[in-house]
Structure 1
Amino acid sequence: MSLPLPETDDVTALRARLRGHVEPPSVRRTAEAPEVEDEPWESGPVRWEVSGRAATAVAVVLVLAVAVLGVLLWRGGPGDVVVLPDTAGLTTGAPGASAPAGAAPGTSSEGATPGGEAGEGTQAPGTPTLLVHVVGEVREPGVVRLPPGSRVGDAIEAAGGAKRTADLAALNLAAPVTDGEQVRVPKPGEVALTNPQSSGGDPAGSTGGAGGGALDLNTADAATLETLPGVGPVLAERIVSHRDQHGPFASVDALQDVSGIGPATFDRLRDLVRVG
């Protein structure tokens, strides 16, 4: 029978050593490992970090969305503005309404303005006009259109105005003109012819003296001769050249001696010319 050993430090150490040889390692580690207390989890503010690629992708998506929205708004915007014509002045069709002179569509009053070309433009249908033949010392000789009540001065202005060589003192610029009248603006020393509605009429019915307003073959220049029917620049020069070479015409019949004047042309000119 063994006696119990007294508990001393040496005995305790021996027991522990022997127990280490007998107990499994897991038990030994548990016994030897110090107890670690769980540390409480410290909470703090959460921070989200975005990478550079993600930021670029988001920016591209936003740009595309804005572009698509702009296209949709542009296509779906208000249509073209249609400007309606102003109908405030369209009253010419009303009873009693009258359009101003030259305001009718397709009409013009330029033919009656000073300096305008002879016969330029037409007046409204039904409007009476005067056709006056202006010859002599004017810038644009020919037939001009004038409104009723026009004067000799108006006819001269419609033919481009008088030249510097014109003798306006020989004319009555305030005299009224009639349809079919011829107004001849003379040079100094020439006879002024006005109001010869009928070239072969009574000489007393005109202010041009003998000849009833016919052109004098011995004094008319080429420009004046061109105002005769059927006489162009070439034929007018031939008449002047014949007069210079053979002297003044002795009679109207001598006009047939000019080259280019045949029987038909002479018949048209017989009553329109004279010799002084």
Structure 2
Amino acid sequence: MWLQLRCGLEPRPLAALGAVMVVAAVLAGVHFWSGRPQAVSAPEPVKEGATASGVPGDPGSEDSGAPLRPEPSPGLPPAVAPGGQIVVDVSGKVRRPGIRRLPPGSRVADALRAAGGVRDGTDVTGLNRARVLADGEQVVVGAPGGPWPVGGAGGGGPGAGATGPVGPAAPLSLSTATVDQLETLPGVGPVLAQHIVDYRAEHGGYRSVDELREVDGIGDRRFEDLQPLVRP
């Protein structure tokens, strides 16, 4: 009544003004109520042994009731063929040449035994029968026309009491030589010989002798020593 008499308002505009004021008061109350500070509870500590997979329904989560499934650890795959075996090619002067499947950790002697043994009269002086085999390796026994001639201690011909390699008769083929044969080259040990074979397996053989420069462990000086003794 005071506002109506003071401002000279009619009842209808006065009612509208009152409604606007009520709505404004309600909105202000809601705004201040939603912005009030609230208490936040600290997260629960993670239980020991829990895995990172916590999706409900997952076979390895606790919500499914199944036992926790360990995550596979990253790492290099084992150097064996599928089935837990290694596959080697045994050729040359053996009784049953061909592909042989052997347990991991087998040695050259095991591969020769699986191929029926070495033929009678074959010289295996330069063959390291105690070396551990790798998957995909080739073992050549007494290949004809090999890189080293076999002679006696007194310089006799082939078959006259062989004692080991005496010198290169022809360049050694990088595409077919075994690790044992590569070790007979000057300055080439077991590790470097394996690098040469690994490069051959990765690149499908050698197309030129210059590719030896790309093998790990062969510098310019060593390449100059090996270049006249090898061929692709």
Q: TM-score range by the shorter chain?
A: 0.3 to 0.5
Name which one, 1 or 2, has greater alpha-carbon Rg.
Answer: 1
TM-score by length of 1: 0.29
TM-score (norm 2): 0.33
